[in-house]
Structure 1
Amino acid sequence: MDREKIALFIDADNAPANKISDVLAELAKLGVVNIRRAYGNWKNPNLTGWEEVLHDNAIKPIQQFDLTKGKNATDIAMVIDIMDLLHTRQFDVVCILSSDCDFTPLATRVHAEGKKVIGFGERKTPMPFVNACTSFLYLDSLEQTDRAPEKKPQNLNQDTRLIRLLRSAIVAVQDDDGWAKLGQIGQHISNHSSFDHRNYGFNKLKDLFGAISLFELKTTNCSQIWVRDKKALKTGHTQPSGKTK
C-alpha cells in the first residue's frame, strides 16, 4: 500500500525551530514528507535557530521580506504556494506548522479539496485554527509520545468541551446497554474533530477515559476495551445506536 504523501509548510515566524525533529518524527508515522518548506525573512536574527536546522532536515527556506514595518509576508506566501499545490494533486496531506490563526480559512479550503490538514502549534494557537485542522497537536505534547507524562492535567471532569466531545462519540457508537468500543470511539472522534488525547497529557485514549470519573471502562473478549457514560446510565438515557456487541 502506498504511503500518504505529505507537504510540510512552516511559518518560521510563528514556530520554534527546536521542535522540528519531533514534528518530522510524528509525520513519518503517517507517510512520506515529500515537500518541506519554511517561510520567513531570513535576515531577521530571530530566525537564526531555524537556519541551524534547515539543511539537516532537508527543509527549503523561502525568503519573504517584511514589506511593511511590523508586518510580514510569510502568511500570504504560504497560502499562495499551498493553493498552487492544490492544483497538482500530488499530495494527500498538508501539514502547517504555525500558531497563527490566519491559516484558518486556508485549512478549511484544503479540506474542501478532500485533503487532510495536520496542524502543529503552541498552546497559544487560537481554537478556530485548531478546529479547522483534521488533527492538531500541541508541540509540547510531542515530547510525551514515547514516555508517560510527568504530570497529568487536573480537573478533566470540569472540561465541558472535552466531556461533551467524549459523550457524543460514545452515543454515536454505543450498543443497547450504553457500552461503546474504545476503538470505535477513537475513530468517530478522529472523523469529526481535530482532537488528540496527547494534548491532554495521555499517550493512550484509554488512559484519558480512565482519568475521568464520569466514565467507566471494562475489558472483554481478549483485551477489547469498552467505555460507558455513568451519567447516561444513572438517568437511563443511553440513546442506543442500535449496535450490539
Structure 2
Amino acid sequence: MTDNQMRLAVLIDADNSQPAIMEGLLEEVANYGIASIKRIYGDWSSDSMRGWKEILLDYSVQPVQQYPYTKGKNATDMKMIIDAMDILYSEKMDGFCLVSSDSDFTPLAQRVRQQGLTVFGFGEQKTPKAFVRACDRFIYNDVLRRQQAPDTKDTAATTGTRRLGAKELKQDTKLVTMVRNGIEDAADDTGWASLGVVGQKVANSNPDFDPRNYGYKKLGELIRAMQLFEVDERPMENSPAHNIYIRDKKRKG
C-alpha cells in the first residue's frame, strides 16, 4: 500500500442492493483506493439473502447479522449507521463507500464529510437526490452491472448502456448546462478550458455526473459526441501525451 492511496470502508446495505453489482463495485472502489473494510448488512437467516451468500467468500466481504426487531422498521440501516460512526472515530479511514439507495443514509454521508472524509455513494437510479447530493461522488449501479459485460472494442458495450447520439445529447438540457457551466468556471480569457478541470468542476457540483451514464467511457468521448464544443489537443513538453482543451462553439473570437 502506498502512502497516497485512500483507505476506504465499504459498507453495503444488502436490503437495497443486488449481488450482480459486486464485481463492478469492488473494481470501481479500487479506482479510488484500498477497500480496507468490507462489510455487508442484512438478516442472513432470510431466504432473500441467498444470492449474496453465494458470493461473499469470493470477494472477502464480512456479513453482519441484523435481525428485524419490529415489522416496518429497518434495523439493518440502524446497525450500518452505528458501525459507520464507530469506524469513523476508531479507525484511520480516508473515506467511506456507502452502497444503498435508501435516503436514510443522507445524515450519515453529511456527518462523514463534516469530519473531512470523502464519501462515495452507490445506488440505483431511484436513489433520492438528497442522498446523492450528500456524497462527494455518486455512482449508479447500472454502471457497475455494465462493467461485467463481455469484453469488446465497442465502448458503448463495455460501459453498457445504449450510447446516446449527438441529437439526444444536445436535447439533454441538464447535461449541456452542466458542461457549459464547467467550461465557464474553468476557462481562460480566450474561452479555452482544460478538459480535466472542467470534469472536476462538473463533478463537484453534480456528484452523480458520469460519462458512462450516457454510454461513453471517458469525458473526452462524450464532449466530442455532443458536437457543441471545440476540442484542441496540445502537445506536452518532452512528452508524447497531450493536454486536451475545450471551448464552447458559441464563443466568438
Contact 1:93 1:116 in 2 (8 A): yes
Report the alpha carbon displacement of residue 89 of structure 1 after superposing the two structures with TM.
4.6
Which of residues 139, 149, 155 in structure 1 aligns to 2:156?
149
Partner of 1:226: 245
Partner of 2:53: 51
Matches within 5 A, 1:104-115: 104-115=106-117
Moved over 6 A (4+): none
Q: TM-score, normalised to structure 1's length?
A: 0.87
Q: 1:153 to 1:66 in 2, by over 3 A?
A: farther
Which runs of 5 or more residues in structure 1 are unaligned? 237-245
Deviates more, 1:179-188 or 1:141-150: 141-150
Deviates more, 1:183-192 or 1:88-97: 183-192
Structure 2: distance between partners of 1:116 and 1:48: 32
SS of 1:55's equivalent in the other structure is helix
Alignment-mate amino acid for residue 173 of structure 1: A
SS of 2:56's equivalent in the other structure is coil
Alignment-mate amino acid for residue 213 of structure 1: Q
Matches within 5 A, 1:97-108: 97-108=99-110
Report the alpha carbon displacement of residue 171 of structure 1 after superposing the two structures with TM.
1.1
Which of residues 41, 44, 63 in structure 2 aligns to 1:42?
44
1:158-185 Cα distance to aligned partner (Å, 9 max, x none): 2232222211211111111111111221
Contact 1:64 1:72 in 2 (8 A): no
1:17-54 Cα distance to aligned partner (Å, 9 max, x none): 12111111111222211111111111221111111111
Structure 2: distance between partners of 1:72 and 1:118: 22
Deviates more, 1:211-220 or 1:8-17: 211-220
Which of residues 62, 68, 71 in structure 2 aligns to 1:69?
71
Partner of 1:181: 194
* Identity rate, percent: 46
Which runs of 5 or more residues in structure 2 are unaligned? 237-241
Partner of 2:221: 207
Alignment-mate amino acid for residue 158 of structure 1: Q
Contact 1:65 1:72 in 2 (8 A): no
1:192-212 Cα distance to aligned partner (Å, 9 max, x none): 431222222211000111121
Alignment-mate amino acid for residue 230 of structure 1: K
Structure 1: distance between partners of 2:77 and 2:131: 14
Report the alpha carbon displacement of residue 15 of structure 1 after superposing the two structures with TM.
0.3
Which of residues 62, 80, 83 in structure 2 aligns to 1:81?
83
Report the alpha carbon displacement of residue 58 of structure 1 after superposing the two structures with TM.
1.3
1:110-130 Cα distance to aligned partner (Å, 9 max, x none): 111111111111222222222
Partner of 2:239: none
Report the alpha carbon displacement of residue 144 of structure 1 after superposing the two structures with TM.
4.4
Report the alpha carbon displacement of residue 73 of structure 1 after superposing the two structures with TM.
0.8
Structure 2: distance between partners of 1:55 and 1:185: 40
Partner of 1:243: none
1:168 counterpart = 2:181: yes
